[in-house]
């Protein structure tokens, strides 16, 4: 738990430096193709953006700003970054949670089915589907889904974002497809994980004992086996939430959703340093925090795991 | 010149080839009409709208548009769409009402009125602003907020404003507002940056409530083109920076009023019922939606979630058979060229014969066929479609840009590089087609013994190399729109900032410098044309840069959307006059 602080600090240095290793800065981009732009005007812009300071000073200024809760302003749009990320966060969060929800509600029953009817046709089908799901890149699936629904149903999700609080149905209509595209891979992972751990658990002594005392197969499967099999599955889901939040970037771009990932990608192309730093650090923080929470949850779910 | 920013700013997910329409320009930025069927004369222009730079004949002579148009346009291309919908010919009699959604392939980033660099900024803001004058679809200059303009002498311009025009906030447009705006353009607050502002403007006077006088230190006929370029010269209420957050809001006089701008997502406009041109606008609402992914735009268009967008040539052609869709195409200002840095005499390409050899070794038709699906033109230093300023295509094909391998080999021999040499050819990537063009060029050069290694670079890196001249060889890049032909040759003049980076000490042509100086002192358009012709002839002999081709821009719209056309300027200006049919 205490490792959180040095981890994040190291992360911030890394993000800060990585970005500045890329050739070209925002001023180069802004003045590209402008034959009339003078060195003087470029210098003034760099000073205005704080890019003229030595790197360590820039870093310290940024860090102090962060500690005050102010990640600065976008160099390209001038928009306060907290505001930009504030608009983007709910979209990414909803997308991620919806994807996890979709994946989990389908994957766990399927995994259980697959395990309890091992080597049946259903099991075989489930395993093949799982492999396919694992192998399909989500951006490919997203593009294909869009083209498919547009050609076959003459329908695509509405392009303008509506908040779930103002129009829950409209929001769902918009988010379901991207969430599904994002969910497929996670679903495959969860299903295979559930199947594997279920198989393991079903071979345990206490399951045999439960059966021996006359518990129904259903009771054995859900009460005795599944509960114990779920622990590793939950940890996988936890880790995946962090991955999904960053990994949803391409899905966001394809579906025209202005989430954190899409914002980050654009900021990188624009060399919008403070925006990239804030978005990347935010995602890194989410990842670290979720992983830590999963560790804690793990101990809670399985008291045998002690925390130092 | 350096890569046009629109390529640099482009986010990586789309490649576009574009297209379109042949406008023509003539005059100092005054482009005369040419396209078939397009009326050359200003239709709505009140009385004396001079379409020619006023300085031509002080006071009197507002020659009407046709006179200028007479310089015609060799480049006039069929502007018809694949699906046979004419893209020119302004239609009339549109229906009022209706809403459309247009997809933008890039985020506008912000909507600041002055000093914005990204073209996408203009895409986001163009419907709410007017300048004092404007280009029509054929790049002929038309009245906008000014009803007439004149040049009492060769260093003064006077604009007479339309009376009673209201800003979207209800206040009236006065000469003080115009004066304030031009002064803001001279030193735009960040994130704006001064780029195209005419250096010779000294002071602005609000002579009376409706008269603005521009005083200059000397003649500069390119000023008129600058004021027609609404991207840089919108008229705003004075003090607009204190009234609103200009990053996401705006107050103009245009046909549509801004409702909201959500960065990286959408821009929403509603009709301005008080627009000064009572015939416009037709639509009740325009929503601009940012959709960077091209296939997502295809899907949205096919399912009617959007009404139109820009596409690459290949993708646009796949939609030509859909009865619900109309494909528009046309020339646009974005020719491709090879740029050298000529400061180090040790480099082979510092030898003019080597550059001439490279020029003649390149088979432009092959680039057009392989990279642009046969849909592109040879480009001079000034691109085709830009009025009659470029050298005629026949001249380019048969002489200046002729594909002639034997001649190329001979020139290399004379230069002492008969056995060839190795160089780097950097290209922007994405868009992919720039790099594809570089690969085709590399093949051509191989045939004469030059090993050109193609190095695709992400935009930021490319821009930095371009700006500081730090590339060991050449760059293949794209140019953009300019307000005046001078914009396409200015980097070859020693007084332009970028000259020091690219050429100082390695390239200087006295005749060229003098020709460019003279052209800016010459208000007479016919004489100017002769000077820019001469300048291009010199440049296409010395080849500090080697122009390649100009491709087409494609836009595909739902067939219910009428009167849209591909704008030569690379904006979506047609939407100002578009309507929908039920």
Residues B318-334, mean pLDDT to the nearest whole number: 93
Do B296 and A143 make contact, defined as CB atoms within 8 angstroms?
yes
Residues 126..155 of A with a Cβ closer than 8 Å to B: which? 143, 146-147, 149-151, 153-155
Confidence of residue B206 (pLDDT cuts 50, 70, 90): very high
Of B122, B100, B101, B119, which Cα lies nearest the Cα of B297?
B101
Kindly report the nearest CA distance between residue A172 and chain B, in angstroms. 16
Alpha-carbon distance of B351 to A290, in angstroms, equals 62
Alpha-carbon distance of B44 to B60, in angstroms, equals 21
Give B484-514 pLDDT, tens digit per residue: 999 999 999 999 888 988 998 889 999 999 9
Shortest CA distance from A75: residue in chain B: B191
Reading the block at residue B545, the tokens are 């840069």
- Residues in B touching A92 (Cβ below 8 Å): none
Q: pLDDT at residue B21 above 50?
A: no
For position B509, what pLDDT does the model report?
A: 95
Of A35, A84, A147, which has the smallest distance from its Cβ to B295's Cβ? A147
Of B90, B106, B110, which Cα lies nearest the Cα of B43?
B90
Residues A42-59, mean pLDDT to the nearest whole number: 87
User: CB distance from B309 to chain A under 8 Å?
Assistant: no
- Residues in B touching A77 (Cβ below 8 Å): 109-110, 191, 247, 263
Alpha-carbon distance of B440 to B444, in angstroms, equals 6
Shortest CA distance from B107: residue in chain A: A266
Q: pLDDT at residue B302 above 80?
A: yes
Do A37 and B193 make contact, defined as CB atoms within 8 angstroms?
yes
Do B110 and A77 make contact, defined as CB atoms within 8 angstroms?
yes
For position A306, what pLDDT does the model report?
A: 60
Of A283, A264, A284, which Cα lies nearest the Cα of A274?
A264
Do A34 and B5 make contact, defined as CB atoms within 8 angstroms?
yes
User: CB distance from A271 to chain B under 8 Å?
Assistant: yes
Asked if B294 contacts B311 with a C-beta cutoff of 8 angstroms, the reply is yes
Of B168, B166, B125, which Cα lies nearest the Cα of B145?
B166
- Residues in B touching A157 (Cβ below 8 Å): 305
Do A41 and B193 make contact, defined as CB atoms within 8 angstroms?
yes
- Residues in A touching B287 (Cβ below 8 Å): 160
Residues 369..398 of B with a Cβ closer than 8 Å to A: which? none
pTM metric for this prediction: 0.83
What's phi and psi for B149, nearest 5 deg? -150, 155
Give A223-276 pLDDT, tens digit per residue: 888 888 888 888 888 888 888 887 788 899 899 898 999 899 888 888 899 999
Do B109 and A35 make contact, defined as CB atoms within 8 angstroms?
no
Kindly report the nearest CA distance between residue B221 and chain A, in angstroms. 17
Kindly report the nearest CA distance between residue A5 and chain B, in angstroms. 32
Residues B198-220, mean pLDDT to the nearest whole number: 94
For position A296, what pLDDT does the model report?
A: 80
Kindly report the nearest CA distance between residue B241 and chain A, in angstroms. 13
Shortest CA distance from A33: residue in chain B: B2
Asked if A239 contacts A186 with a C-beta cutoff of 8 angstroms, the reply is no
Q: pLDDT at residue B65 above 60?
A: no
Of B1, B305, B460, which has the smallest distance from its Cβ to A24's Cβ? B460
The angle, 0 to 180 degrees and rounded to 10, between the axes of the packed helices A138-152 and B294-302 is 20
Kindly report the nearest CA distance between residue B204 and chain A, in angstroms. 22
User: CB distance from A33 to chain B under 8 Å?
Assistant: yes
Of B21, B576, B556, which Cα lies nearest the Cα of B309?
B556
Confidence of residue A50 (pLDDT cuts 50, 70, 90): confident
Mean pLDDT in chain A? 86
Name residues whose C-beta falls within 8 Å of residue A87's C-beta, 6 or more positions apart in sequence.
A258, B262, B263
For position B217, what pLDDT does the model report?
A: 94
Kindly report the nearest CA distance between residue A169 and chain B, in angstroms. 17
Confidence of residue B48 (pLDDT cuts 50, 70, 90): very low
Run of H or E including B161? strand B156-161
Do B304 and A265 make contact, defined as CB atoms within 8 angstroms?
no
Question: Would you call B159 helix, strand, or coil by DSSP?
Answer: strand
Residues B413-439, mean pLDDT to the nearest whole number: 93
Give B514-558 pLDDT, tens digit per residue: 999 999 998 888 999 999 999 999 999 999 999 999 999 999 999
For position B31, what pLDDT does the model report?
A: 38
- Residues in A touching B479 (Cβ below 8 Å): 33
For position A299, what pLDDT does the model report?
A: 75
ipTM value for the complex: 0.84
- Residues in B touching A255 (Cβ below 8 Å): 296
C-alpha atoms less than 13 angstroms from C-alpha of B159 in its C-beta half-sphere:
30
For position A43, what pLDDT does the model report?
A: 85
Kindly report the nearest CA distance between residue B320 and chain A, in angstroms. 15
Confidence of residue A219 (pLDDT cuts 50, 70, 90): confident
Of B244, B174, B167, B230, which Cα lies nearest the Cα of B204?
B174
Mean pLDDT in chain B? 84
Residues A119-136, mean pLDDT to the nearest whole number: 89
Q: Determine what percent of chain B is predicted with pLDDT higher than 70.
A: 84
Q: pLDDT at residue B25 above 50?
A: no
Specify the higher pLDDT residue, B7 or A181. Answer: A181
User: CB distance from B223 to chain A under 8 Å?
Assistant: no
Do A150 and B299 make contact, defined as CB atoms within 8 angstroms?
yes
Q: pLDDT at residue B58 above 50?
A: no
| Gyration radius (Cα) of chain B, Å | 23
Alpha-carbon distance of B497 to B502, in angstroms, equals 10
Q: pLDDT at residue B32 above 60?
A: no
- Residues in B touching A156 (Cβ below 8 Å): 296, 299-300, 303, 305
User: CB distance from B195 to chain A under 8 Å?
Assistant: yes
What's phi and psi for B560, nearest 5 deg? -70, -20
User: CB distance from B11 to chain A under 8 Å?
Assistant: yes
Reading the block at residue B524, the tokens are 């007479």
Do B303 and A159 make contact, defined as CB atoms within 8 angstroms?
no
Do B12 and A258 make contact, defined as CB atoms within 8 angstroms?
no
User: CB distance from A252 to chain B under 8 Å?
Assistant: no
Do A256 and B296 make contact, defined as CB atoms within 8 angstroms?
yes
Query: Which segment of B24-28, B306-310, B368-372 scores lowest on mean pLDDT?
Result: B24-28
Give A145-188 pLDDT, tens digit per residue: 988 998 888 888 887 778 888 888 888 888 999 999 999 999 99
Reading the block at residue A125, the tokens are 């089908």
Give B129-176 pLDDT, tens digit per residue: 999 999 999 899 999 999 999 999 989 999 999 999 999 999 999 999
Kindly report the nearest CA distance between residue B64 and chain A, in angstroms. 32
User: CB distance from B8 to chain A under 8 Å?
Assistant: yes
User: CB distance from B25 to chain A under 8 Å?
Assistant: no
- Residues in B touching A270 (Cβ below 8 Å): 9, 109
Alpha-carbon distance of A42 to B194, in angstroms, equals 10
Shortest CA distance from B496: residue in chain A: A36
């Amino acid at each position: 738990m205490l490792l959180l602080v040095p981890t994040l600090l190291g992360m911030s240095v890394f993000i800060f430096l990585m970005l500045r290793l890329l050739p070209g800065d925002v001023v180069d981009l802004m003045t590209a193709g402008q034959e009339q732009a003078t060195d003087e005007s470029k210098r003034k812009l760099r000073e205005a953006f704080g890019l003229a300071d030595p790197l360590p000073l820039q870093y310290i200024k940024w860090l102090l700003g962060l500690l005050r809760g102010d990640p600065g302003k976008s160099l390209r749009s001038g928009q306060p970054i907290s505001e930009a990320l504030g608009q983007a966060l709910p979209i990414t969060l909803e997308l991620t949670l919806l994807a996890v929800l979709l994946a989990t509600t389908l994957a766990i029953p399927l995994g259980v089915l697959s395990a309890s009817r091992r080597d049946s046709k259903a099991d075989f089908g489930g395993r093949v589907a799982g492999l396919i799901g694992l192998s399909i890149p989500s951006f490919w699936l997203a593009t294909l889904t869009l083209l498919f629904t547009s050609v076959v149903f003459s329908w695509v999700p509405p392009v303008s974002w509506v908040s779930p609080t103002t129009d829950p149905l409209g929001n769902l209509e918009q988010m379901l497809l991207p969430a599904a595209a994002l969910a497929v891979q996670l679903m495959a992972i969860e299903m295979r994980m559930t199947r594997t751990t279920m198989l393991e658990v079903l071979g345990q002594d206490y399951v045999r004992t439960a059966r021996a005392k006359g518990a129904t197969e259903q009771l054995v499967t859900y009460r005795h086996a599944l509960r114990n099999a779920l622990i590793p599955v939950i940890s996988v889901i936890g880790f995946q939430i962090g991955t999904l939040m960053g990994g949803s970037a391409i899905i966001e771009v394809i579906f025209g959703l202005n989430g954190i990932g899409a914002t980050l990608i654009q900021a990188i192309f624009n060399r919008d340093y403070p925006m990239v730093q804030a978005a990347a650090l935010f995602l890194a923080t989410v990842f670290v925090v979720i992983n830590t929470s999963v560790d804690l949850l793990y101990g809670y779910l399985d008291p045998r795991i002690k925390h130092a | 010149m350096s890569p046009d920013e629109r390529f640099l700013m482009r986010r990586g997910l789309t490649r576009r080839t574009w297209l379109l329409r042949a406008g023509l320009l003539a005059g100092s930025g005054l482009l005369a009409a040419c396209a078939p069927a397009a009326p050359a004369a200003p239709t709505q222009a009140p009385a004396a709208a001079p379409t020619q730079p006023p300085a031509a004949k002080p006071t009197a002579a507002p020659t009407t548009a046709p006179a200028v148009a007479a310089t015609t346009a060799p480049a006039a291309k069929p502007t018809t769409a694949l699906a046979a919908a004419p893209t020119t010919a302004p239609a009339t009699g549109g229906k009022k009402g209706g809403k459309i959604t247009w997809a933008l392939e890039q985020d506008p980033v912000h909507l600041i009125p002055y000093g914005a660099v990204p073209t996408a900024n203009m895409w986001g803001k163009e419907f709410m602003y007017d300048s004092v004058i404007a280009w029509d679809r054929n790049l002929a200059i038309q009245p906008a907020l000014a009803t007439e303009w004149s040049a009492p002498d060769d260093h003064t311009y006077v604009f007479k404003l339309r009376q009673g025009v209201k800003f979207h906030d209800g206040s009236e447009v006065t000469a003080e507002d115009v004066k304030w705006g031009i002064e803001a353009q001279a030193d735009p607050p960040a994130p704006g940056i001064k780029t195209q502002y005419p250096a010779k403007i000294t002071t602005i006077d609000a002579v009376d409530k409706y008269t603005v006088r521009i005083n200059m230190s000397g003649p500069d006929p390119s000023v008129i083109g600058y004021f027609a370029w609404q991207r840089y010269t919108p008229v705003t209420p004075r003090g607009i920076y204190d009234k609103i957050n200009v990053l996401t809001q705006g107050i103009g006089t245009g046909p549509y009023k801004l409702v909201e701008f959500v960065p990286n997502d959408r821009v929403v406009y509603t009709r301005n019922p008080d627009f000064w041109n009572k015939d416009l606008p037709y639509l009740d609402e325009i929503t601009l939606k940012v959709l960077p992914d091209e296939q997502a735009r295809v899907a949205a268009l096919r399912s009617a979630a959007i009404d139109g967008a820009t596409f690459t040539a290949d993708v646009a052609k796949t939609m030509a058979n859909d009865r619900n869709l109309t494909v528009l195409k046309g020339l646009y200002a974005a020719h491709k060229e090879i740029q050298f840095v000529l400061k180090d005499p040790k480099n082979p390409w510092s030898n003019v014969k080597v550059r001439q050899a490279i020029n003649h070794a390149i088979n432009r038709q092959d680039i057009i066929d392989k990279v642009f699906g046969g849909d592109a033109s040879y480009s001079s230093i000034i691109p085709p479609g830009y009025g009659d300023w470029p050298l005629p295509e026949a001249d380019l094909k048969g002489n200046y840009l002729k594909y002639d391998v034997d001649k190329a080999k001979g020139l290399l021999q004379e230069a002492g590089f008969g056995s060839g040499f190795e160089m780097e050819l950097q290209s922007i990537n994405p868009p992919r087609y720039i790099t594809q063009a570089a690969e085709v060029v590399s093949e051509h050069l191989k045939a004469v013994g030059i090993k050109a290694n193609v190095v695709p670079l992400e935009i930021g890196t490319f821009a930095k190399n371009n700006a500081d001249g730090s590339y060991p060889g050449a760059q293949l890049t794209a140019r953009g729109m300019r307000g005046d032909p001078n914009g396409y040759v200015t980097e070859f003049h020693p007084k332009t900032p970028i000259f020091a980076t690219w050429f100082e000490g390695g390239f200087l042509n006295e005749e060229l410098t003098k020709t460019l100086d003279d052209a800016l002192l010459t208000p007479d358009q016919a004489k100017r044309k002769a000077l820019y012709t001469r300048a291009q002839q010199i440049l296409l002999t010395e080849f500090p840069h080697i122009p390649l081709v100009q491709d087409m821009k494609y836009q595909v719209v739902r067939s219910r959307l009428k009167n849209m056309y591909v704008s030569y300027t690379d904006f979506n200006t047609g939407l100002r006059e578009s309507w929908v049919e039920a």
